[in-house]
Structure 1
Amino acid sequence: MSTAASTVRDWWPGDRAELESRLDALVRENRFTISVFFPLNGIVLLLASATVAAVPDWLAFTGTLILLGTVVMRSPLVAGLAPLVDRRAATGIGLLALYAYAIEYVGVHTGWPYGPFEYGVSLGPMVSGVPLGLPVFFLPLVANAYLLCLLLLGDRAERGPLRLAAVVALVLLLDVVLDPGAVALGFWNYEGVTTEGALAVLAGGGFYGVPLSNYAGWVLSATVAVVTLDLAFDRAALVRRLAECEFMLDDMVSFVILWGGVNALFGNLVPALVAAGIGVGLVRADRFDASLLRP
């Protein structure tokens, strides 16, 4: 057997448990790079793409780079959830991915339930107007919100209606941060809504260029997704995993840094403050520790 083949054989994990252990170690050893460097680098590249004409075409809003950066920032969540993905959870994730594609396809082609909108930037490969990597963008928002609510609610998370309502509310707050920043960057735009007048709802400006119908649509889509996720995973196992896996919510840290920073630099005060509030929630849940700030 050749040396190269032997090296590959020695490196390749022997079973799922070893693979999960290696993924845990990889994320744990690179927390700063994944959760701080990548979002900060993302702010620079995205703002340069949106505002600096001198950025070369191959670098400005490159869909592959956007998707790759997002996948890297999602890796702590993936590593954290991996040991808990059994057949039921895998089925739930698959259904959620199909649901994400279906509702986005309907939204792009009919304007329901979010309001008429179109993508201004290709977020990776696009199929029928929908990003192929859509589940990578959407599903982690729901999962992160669910995990953070489990930590913040504590024993109160046992009360189903309270748990589900809290998660849906947090997903909505995440979109209050995400959508204005994405519109400011030109990721997508809504028909008949401008970004002039940050809070000019009555003047037709929506909420930082986002129509209120978008948030009504997110209540619907988030409710379906949260209920599905709640049924798919063993909640007690999630709580145990959260207790032993300190990096499991690092993707939420990346979100706060990236989209909080984008909104702040575009002068979107309310979304930036909401992002800061989510950051406070991470601190209260002991999920934003000093080790994240040390390379």
Structure 2
Amino acid sequence: MQQRDIFPRSLQYLVAIAEYGSYTRAAEALHVSQPTLSQQIKQLEESLQSPLLDRSGRSVQLTNAGEIYIRHARRAWGELDGGARAIHDVQNLSRGSLRLGWTPITDYLTCSLLENFNGLYPGININTLEMPQDDIEVSVAESRIDIGIVFSKPFASTTRPNELETDVLFEEKLCVAVGNSHPRTKQQERMSAQNLGQESLALLNNDFALRRHVDEYCNKYEIEPRFAVESNSLSAIISLIKHRPLATILPLSIVRQQGLHAINLSPEMQRKEITLIYRKDGYKSPATVAFSELAHLWSKDELPKH
């Protein structure tokens, strides 16, 4: 039995319209006629005695009531999916699935963990999604992913803390990173906060947690940072650091992994925790449990000590 067979059609249609912003595109994606889709939505709105969609603009948008309702609908969908997966998951992990969300930072930090997991459980289908931390927290809370790996203390303002369960793996030290093209490439002494303000920086944009940590540090020590490059791609930033006289802020493990030169800050930035997050009281598949257990062993045995 597929998930769509047990989830009410009207709610499937509402979710599709919200995603595509169009009755026509939603109907095409669902392989139904547009009149059928429209009739289901009309009946749903009548039963709730509230409009769920605003059809006045060029694209269809959720009303305030629609946003509230679809949030609960997606969570219900996640619960139904969890029930179906609980029935069909094979306890010996010879097959199954794992939906994993991570940030660009935690991607670099934990990629070898994923390789180890795949080596131990090749029958598990792993679907990884790279996204900002705020989106990971919401996706976990709504059961759209099984587990998130986040950099720093979780819980964005959009997510209630009582919806998430945390499991700290390890702490990471943050430092300035430069490449061989930078005049400070052989510097051993610490860099002051004021000197950091004089560097041309390449950083992730402010959708990402690491950037917000840097901004908080700069605000605390009244630094006016010079942003030469802002990107949502960590690999692009690392490439720039390797070939241009720019500086960035990275976890020490990534600096060493990429062959960059680390410069400690004075005062230091607050160390950040690499944390697994799950939906509190949500179903944990055998694959999720196995990944969590392996993550703890990996963090103790394979991570460099700083």
Structure with greater proportional helix content = 1
Higher RCO (Cα < 8 Å, 6 or more apart): 1
If you compute each CA radius of gyration, which structure gives the higher value, 1 or 2?
Answer: 2
Structure with greater proportional strand content = 2
Per the TM superposition, whether the score is higher than 0.5 is: no
